[in-house]
Chains A and B, each alone.
Chain A
């Protein structure tokens, strides 16, 4: 079965610094998709960034970027120039094919990020 593991339960950083959140995954698929989501204090879950496994370039989106290390089955999220508003729970997820072309997401347990002023 596919699995997503986030080993960091919580991280605290100072504002304007760079933070990396770790995620490792297990899959037997040759082609797969990896995602990072953010859950705010209100409970809203927001899609941040995606990495397609067949792409060698690390995905970037604003001040989010990924460190994709395929041989290590690792997909770290990097947030540069952190802001107070980045304080949230961050979930790593991987698509698991269900049927046909439809997939479901398998989520890690999340990493709580606190950005201090």
Chain B
């Protein structure tokens, strides 16, 4: 078994501020993901990374940067927080490969963002 740790759990920012969210996993998984969850809109993919130092844009990458400096960690940066923005950011990881188990994602507990 393993665990995905996201920090911080709660993040309050100011409009225009650059905010960084961190994610660590000890599954030794190759692929890591950042999803955003808004009320009523489900989960949408922001960025993903297949391996260390790899970065790929998802469906919602505008306004975000990401960094994968180590296999075990994946950071997400909100480049300029939007006023009244509220969302949950979820980090996930999965092993690589073609089988079903290799495509199963495991999630962290999330970071809840509020922008004043």
Q: Contacts A50-B104, A107-B43: A99 and B50 contacting too (C-beta < 8 A)?
A: yes
Q: Is the CB of B109 within 8 A of A101?
A: no
Question: Do A42 and B106 have beta carbons less than 8 Å apart?
Answer: no
Q: Which residues of chain B are within 8 angstroms of A100 by Cβ–Cβ distance?
A: 50
What's the dominant secondary structure at chain A's contact region? strand
Q: How far is the CB of A33 from chain B (nearest CB, A)?
A: 5
Tell me if B104 and A35 are in contact (CB < 8 A): yes
B74 lies within 8 A of chain A by Cβ: no
Whether B103 pairs with A43 at a CB distance below 8 angstroms is no
B45 touches A104 (CB 8 A): yes
CB–CB B103/A109 < 8 A: no
Contacts of A47 in B (CB 8 A): 104-107
Q: Which residue of A lies closest to B106 (CB)?
A: A47
| A87-106 interface code vs B (CB 8 A; 1 in, 0 out) | 00001000100111111110
Cβ of B113 < 8 Å from any Cβ of A?
no
Distance, CA A110 to CA B101, complexed state (A): 22
Please count the residue pairs between chain A and chain B whose beta carbons lie under 8 angstroms apart in the complex: 60
Output the nearest chain B residue to A101 by Cβ-Cβ distance. Answer: B98
B109 touches A95 (CB 8 A): no
Q: How far is the CA of A101 from the CA of B102 in the complex (A)?
A: 9
Cα distance, A16 to B104, chains bound together (Å): 29
Bound Cα distance A4, B85 (Å)? 26
A85 contacts partner chain B, Cβ-Cβ < 8 Å: no
B residues in contact with A50, CB < 8 Å:
100-101, 104
Q: Is the CB of A101 within 8 A of B110?
A: no
CB of B100 within 8 A of CB of A91, answer no
Q: Cβ of A98 and Cβ of B48 under 8 Å apart?
A: yes
Q: Is the CB of A101 within 8 A of B104?
A: no
Q: Are A107 and B42 in contact (CB under 8 A)?
A: yes
Nearest 8 CB-CB pairs, A to B? Answer: A45-B107, A52-B100, A107-B43, A109-B42, A95-B103, A107-B42, A103-B103, A43-B110
Apart from A50-B104, A105-B45, what 14 extra A-B contacts exist at CB < 8 Å? A37-B107, A42-B109, A43-B88, A43-B109, A43-B110, A46-B107, A50-B100, A52-B100, A99-B50, A101-B98, A103-B94, A104-B58, A109-B41, A109-B42
